[in-house]
Amino acid sequence: MDILIRPARPAEYEEIGELTVRAYLADGLLLSGADDPYLPVLRDVARRAAEAEVLVAEADGRIRGAVTFAAQGPYAELAGAGEAEFRMLAVSAAARGRGAGEALVRACVERARALPDCRALVLSTQPAMRSAHRLYERLGFTRAPERDWEPVPALTLLAYALTL
């Protein structure tokens, strides 16, 4: 599958939000399922694009995945000074295992490396996301357990970091 990584377009925001929601629900990543209070955040791609950078993986003329890249601001929840972060990585069921997720992560790495004074790229992930962990580790990310955190009770997020 030939994958193009590019910035999201406003006309695609609703589609990207729904792709992200479907991926999170299918993987059981939301504590309250379809009633989870995080769903509106996942769907609000316009806000993400206004405060960070939303990238899409396009293949065969269709959006196959998306990610939010944040160098600073409200979407850089884990990142400290001299760091960037990516969040809300989601790949459609049809594109899983076909390189879309890896292409999106690599694009985030490239963007972080291009930032002046950026020394690391960080991310948070849920313990159950084992295939994502393998991808991150293959790309050079390492666990940063001292940075694990709980955004809400009963939801522990694992931290990973890539030194640039």
pLDDT per residue over 99-153, tens digit each?
999 999 999 999 999 999 999 999 999 998 898 999 999 999 999 999 999 988 8
Helix 100-114 vs helix 130-138: crossing angle, to nearest 10? 50
Is the pTM here over 0.75, yes or no? yes
Tell me which H or E stretch contains 33: none
DSSP strand pairing (83-91 vs 120-125):
parallel
pLDDT at 8 over 90: yes
